[in-house]
Amino acid sequence: MSQPFRADGLGSVDRSRPIRFTFDDVAYQGYAGDTLASALLANGVHLVGRSYKYHRPRGILGAGAEEPNALVSLSRGLGRFTPNLRATQIELHEGLKASSQNRWPSLAFDIGAVNDLLSPLFAAGFYYKTFMGPDLFGKNWAWTHVYEPAIRRAAGLGIGPREPDPDRYQRTFAHCDVLVVGAGPAGLAAALAASASGARVVLCDENPGPGGSLLAESEATQIEGFGARDWLAKAVAKLRDAPNVRLMMRTQAFGYYAQNFVALNERLAEPDLIADPELPRERLWQMRAHEVVLATGAIERPLVFPDNDRPGVMLADSARRYLNQYGVKVGERIVIAAAHDGAYRAALDLRKAGVDVALIADLRPDAKGLLPEATRAVGVEIAAGAEILGVDGRLRVKAVRIGIDGKKRAIPCDALLMSGGWTPSVHLFSQSRGRLVFDEARQTFRPGASAQRERSAGACNATFDLEGALAEGDAAGRAAALGAGFAAPVARAYPVSGALPAAVSSPAAGGRGANAAAGRRSKAFVDFQNDVSSKDVNLAVQEGMRSIEHIKRYTTTGMATDQGKLSNMNALAIAAHALAKPLPEVGLTTFRPPYTPVTFGAFAGPARGEMFDPVRRTPIHDWAAANGAHFEDVSLWKRAWYFPRGRESIREAVARECLTTRKTVGLFDASTLGKIEVVGPDAAIFLERMYANAFRKLEVGRCRYGLMLSEAGFLIDDGVIARLKPDRFHVTTTTGGAPRVLAQMEDYLQTEFTDLKVWLTSTTEQWATIAVQGPSARDCVAPLIEGVDLANEAFPHMHVREARACGVPARLMRVSFTGELGYEINVPSHFGGAVWEAAWGEVEKRGGCAYGAESMHVMRAEKGFVIVGQETDGTVTLADLGLDWAIGKSKKDFVGKRSLDRPDMLAANRKQLVGLLTDDPAIVLEEGAQVTEGANPPTGSSALGHVTSSYPSAALGRSIALALVAAGRSRIGARLNVPMPRGAVQVTVTSPIFYDKAGARLNG
């Protein structure tokens, strides 16, 4: 297969290794070392995409991370589909399948291009202006139902994959003495200098190989007497051999955070991944560096002129890179639009390679100096003071129309290069909170004062010449080593010869003159990726935007993945001109991470699927699973939810479990309850201060229902607290609440009640808790327990005994969350399974059942017992819940006490816990539903409250609900409504206790 645009003898691609690939299902060939972009250009393909908004045909504009147009999708099946990749950074590999985006039915013929004709509709801020009304079916109806869905379908670039990503991603934390970002000449010199000091150096670069701008140098360039590429090879070999240096290629430093914390994203090469799918696709490195050297280079600035987005229009230095690095000529006959001497460097190299450079249209009034004169000397025509009037050719540049000396000329060509000067890549520096300063001579922003331990070197510091960049890199490397505490090596010079002098001339600002020529139909683009033209920026100013941040948001220039790489300076220049303000006064927008897009996979790392969160399982989990339990997630716990028999539904299973428990006995795994051991001579005083209840007089062997308030007076946790010894308490918390409760206890113990001698230990995982509930509970427990008289009088409700269960140490409590006679057997976790099995044997013998968390919820609701987090939401008091009887009235102080007297806590209309009974006993209210006075409350009126819990109750033969209702206790007997989409449900307010109101069953 021919590659008609390859230049003989140039570039470093491996011509002995041809590589086949497809783009939009057309087969092409390139070479190892190519990018997708260079291989397409070698085949004469410039048209690679359609623009975001206007669907204009677009070609390859750049050669690196700045590429705004050549965004493609890669696919190799099985969920390995990635949209929006820059063709300029995709390494070519065998079998690569790429496709263009944002076009239908094909790239060359795209229906969406009608947007280009309708473009007056899509000017800056069009969302806010064009798509108003008609509000046929309510406010914003047309926007919500017509315009927005249509715009969403039409706009955007690649589509997201639907299958789960099968690849692995890793996360790594690392530290180093010196991190050097960018392995171009400055970065290499910095790494060489820093590593010579013995410092641990990391050198990273986004590209597959080191070299940066050295790879774009022609053969003539020599460093220290070696050809640029030979020098590069020697420098890299030296770094690779150094044990204190880690070279990280394909590694993008994308974010710079506080304390020299730099985020790196390392991609593995696609062929390596194909060979070994077990390798991680990407690694996210969280790198902490003592010192940082930024050597991130510079990006060439486009020019703003009509139709500057035609396929075939390209940055001049990118064309030079395609020639010298990849051996690809971007055209046969080219025109160069110059506002900067960099254009001439490209012209000379291209000319030498046999490309017909038809004309250099220099927008500056005159073209003088070393480079223009050298170019003139080889016979290239230079038109100084020219203006670009337009570009012909829709799918590929055909001719450039220029104005010169009042006359118009059309120059046929197949590529148009542009050079507007260099913009230092200050993104990371700016993210590090360093201050940018404006460099008048170079018409650009450059790093000023550092905010962190970093320094910039080379082109990112506006030092564009090779020798200067090498020297600056060396100095930066030495300074960084010194800063990291190493003896800095002596300075090194890297003499350079044969290189074309770097252009340091002052570029014409922003192509303003050319912009004036943009006619009504033609567009001069500022931000290619977001389809923002000079007219949009002017319109934004005209419509009153003054701040550059507002202009950015109104026009979307520099947003999304561009992050100002190409658009910033031109947008700023145009805005400054329109505002008649000096450029630095208008200022820059904020550079935000990431520098280039990072995949969600890299951020998620291994935290997906089963690895997303830790899973906590109780010692009884395996038994529950083996006995058909369905599980639910409660915080990190897997809780047995219900135990269906045969083909039972959840409702049938729960009804059976509740009835069986209330009739005979039920066995419940309560191991997920949080447990904290509170020990010490002041343990009782401590609990008195932490909980609303009194504890000092609680006798050893007794339990109390503890209620914990926040300092603001609201209920935040509850649980049974057992006094085992005068100085030892077994405290239980809600499932999942233990860390929060322990943190609150530690906080007060360490910082407020520092006089108390108390020790806190989390024991949640140490105890398995087996609840036996129901009329036959005592009969089931008795055979298991030694050393405790279980008679009601000897061991009444809310008591605790240390005992042995099945021969192992146990804490036996007489407690109930069902309203039935109940016990909870706490045994060390590793005996939990065995003791449960023994208990199950007794329960099964008596016709009992195992029940899950759903039945537990139903039975406690039948008794009106609250669940913190269900009946409460952080604004509910004990009085609201009718639990104020538990408050230790004689206590002078406890956490939250003072707040109970705040006026709002005493208000008459507070929401109070009540029961609701529906008129139709079959209707089960929805939890969260609003409760109102009338059936059709007027729009804008407040609800009286809401339903907090609602279940079908088998024991009562009807539905029940708990609710928080304003002044609810005064409404008992009243009729209220629960409005639902299909009409209001009528309810009667009742006491929240539905079952065994007298509590007689507890003492069975």
Choice between 171 and 969, CB closer to other proteins: 171
Q: Does residue 614 interact with other proteins by CB under 8 A? A: no
Region of 40 on the Ramachandran plot (φ > 0 left; ψ -120 to 50 alpha; else beta) = alpha
According to CB under 8 A, which residues from 53 to 72 bind other proteins?
none
Q: Does residue 145 interact with other proteins by CB under 8 A? A: no
Choice between 254 and 836, CB closer to other proteins: 254
Q: Does residue 258 interact with other proteins by CB under 8 A? A: yes
Q: Does residue 433 interact with other proteins by CB under 8 A? A: yes
Could you tell me the two tokens for 387? 């203006």
In the list 1, 26, 490, 743, the residue contacting other proteins (rule: CB under 8 A) is 743
Choice between 751 and 939, CB closer to other proteins: 751
Choose the binding region for other proteins from 207-215, 225-233, 898-906, 908-916 (rule: CB under 8 A).
898-906
**Least distance (Å) from other proteins to the CB of residue 427?**
19
Choose the binding region for other proteins from 50-58, 272-280, 306-314, 745-753 (rule: CB under 8 A).
745-753
Q: Does residue 261 interact with other proteins by CB under 8 A? A: yes
Q: Which helix (H) or strand (E) holds 945?
A: strand 945-953
Could you tell me the two tokens for 710? 């926040």
In the list 352, 897, 910, 958, the residue contacting other proteins (rule: CB under 8 A) is 897
**Least distance (Å) from other proteins to the CB of residue 747?**
7
Contact status, residue 38 vs residue 328, Cβ threshold 8 Å: yes
**Least distance (Å) from other proteins to the CB of residue 430?**
15
Q: Does residue 711 interact with other proteins by CB under 8 A? A: yes
Choice between 276 and 893, CB closer to other proteins: 893
According to CB under 8 A, which residues from 436 to 455 bind other proteins?
451
Choice between 49 and 713, CB closer to other proteins: 713
In the list 763, 899, 930, 988, the residue contacting other proteins (rule: CB under 8 A) is 899
Q: Does residue 603 interact with other proteins by CB under 8 A? A: no
**Least distance (Å) from other proteins to the CB of residue 711?**
6
Query: In sequence order, which residues have a C-beta less than 8 Å from that of residue 982 and are 6 or more positions away?
Result: none
Crossing angle for the helix pair 466-483 and 185-196, to the nearest 10 degrees? 30
Choose the binding region for other proteins from 268-276, 741-749, 786-794, 988-996 (rule: CB under 8 A).
741-749
According to CB under 8 A, which residues from 206 to 245 bind other proteins?
none
Choice between 234 and 433, CB closer to other proteins: 433
Tell me the chain's radius of gyration from C-alpha atoms: 37
According to CB under 8 A, which residues from 161 to 190 bind other proteins?
173
Instruction: Give Dmax (Cα) for the chain.
Output: 115
**Least distance (Å) from other proteins to the CB of residue 755?**
12
In the list 547, 590, 627, 750, the residue contacting other proteins (rule: CB under 8 A) is 750
In the list 549, 613, 746, 919, the residue contacting other proteins (rule: CB under 8 A) is 746
**Least distance (Å) from other proteins to the CB of residue 710?**
9
Produce one character per residue of 692-716: b if its CB has 16 or more CB atoms within 10 Å, e if not.
bbbbeebeeeebbebbbbeebbbbb
Cα torsion 361, 363, 368, 374: sign: negative
Number of residues that bind other proteins (CB under 8 A): 26
Choose the binding region for other proteins from 64-72, 93-101, 497-505, 900-908 (rule: CB under 8 A).
900-908
Q: Does residue 747 interact with other proteins by CB under 8 A? A: yes
CA atoms in the 13 A half-sphere facing the CB of 239: 28
* Closest listed residue to residue 924, CA positions, set 646, 655, 629, 668: 655
Q: Does residue 754 interact with other proteins by CB under 8 A? A: yes
Per-residue binder mask for other proteins (CB under 8 A), 277-296, x = binder: ---------x-x--------
In the list 278, 893, 942, 1000, the residue contacting other proteins (rule: CB under 8 A) is 893
**Least distance (Å) from other proteins to the CB of residue 751?**
5
3-class secondary structure for 828-868?
EHHHHHHHHHHHHHHHHHCCCEECCHHHHHHHHHHCCCCCC
Choice between 268 and 685, CB closer to other proteins: 685
Could you tell me the two tokens for 480? 């960084």
Query: In sequence order, which residues have a C-beta less than 8 Å from that of residue 844 and are 6 or more positions away?
Result: none
According to CB under 8 A, which residues from 712 to 731 bind other proteins?
712
Choose the binding region for other proteins from 453-461, 778-786, 862-870, 891-899 (rule: CB under 8 A).
891-899
DSSP state of 937: P
Strand 14-23 relative to strand 96-99, pairing: parallel
In the list 77, 903, 940, 981, the residue contacting other proteins (rule: CB under 8 A) is 903
Choice between 466 and 760, CB closer to other proteins: 760
* Closest listed residue to residue 685, CA positions, set 762, 755, 761: 755
Q: Does residue 705 interact with other proteins by CB under 8 A? A: no
**Least distance (Å) from other proteins to the CB of residue 179?**
15
**Least distance (Å) from other proteins to the CB of residue 749?**
10
Contact status, residue 320 vs residue 296, Cβ threshold 8 Å: no
Contact status, residue 669 vs residue 640, Cβ threshold 8 Å: yes
Choose the binding region for other proteins from 310-318, 437-445, 647-655, 744-752 (rule: CB under 8 A).
744-752
Choice between 126 and 257, CB closer to other proteins: 257
Contact status, residue 552 vs residue 559, Cβ threshold 8 Å: yes
Strand 96-99 relative to strand 168-181, pairing: unpaired
In the list 126, 131, 147, 257, the residue contacting other proteins (rule: CB under 8 A) is 257
In the list 892, 909, 928, 998, the residue contacting other proteins (rule: CB under 8 A) is 892
Crossing angle for the helix pair 650-663 and 853-862, to the nearest 10 degrees? 60
Q: What is the DSSP string of 18-59?
A: EEEEEETTEEEEEEET-BHHHHHHHTT--EEEE-TTT--EEE
* Closest listed residue to residue 688, CA positions, set 594, 756, 635: 756
Cα torsion 54, 57, 62, 66: sign: positive
Choice between 121 and 451, CB closer to other proteins: 451
Query: What does each C-alpha distance from 222 to 10, 212, 229, 595, 946 come to in angstroms?
Result: 16, 15, 9, 32, 79
**Least distance (Å) from other proteins to the CB of residue 286?**
7
Choice between 260 and 538, CB closer to other proteins: 260
In the list 16, 259, 909, 942, the residue contacting other proteins (rule: CB under 8 A) is 259
Could you tell me the two tokens for 661? 């428990």
Cis peptide before 134 (omega within 30 of 0): yes
Spatial distance between the Cα atoms of 963 and 944, rounded to a whole number of angstroms: 10
Q: Does residue 592 interact with other proteins by CB under 8 A? A: no
Choice between 717 and 820, CB closer to other proteins: 717
Q: How far is CA 989 from the centre of its chain?
A: 47
Choose the binding region for other proteins from 383-391, 476-484, 763-771, 897-905 (rule: CB under 8 A).
897-905
Choose the binding region for other proteins from 146-154, 526-534, 692-700, 749-757 (rule: CB under 8 A).
749-757
Strand 399-404 relative to strand 71-75, pairing: unpaired
What does the chain come to in residues?
Answer: 1004
Torsion of CA 467, 470, 472, 478, to 10 degrees: -140
Choice between 906 and 980, CB closer to other proteins: 906
Could you tell me the two tokens for 305? 């002129």
Residues of the shown chain interacting with other proteins in the complex, contacts defined by CB under 8 A: 173, 257-259, 261, 286, 288, 433, 451, 711-712, 743, 746-747, 750-752, 754, 892-893, 897-899, 901-903
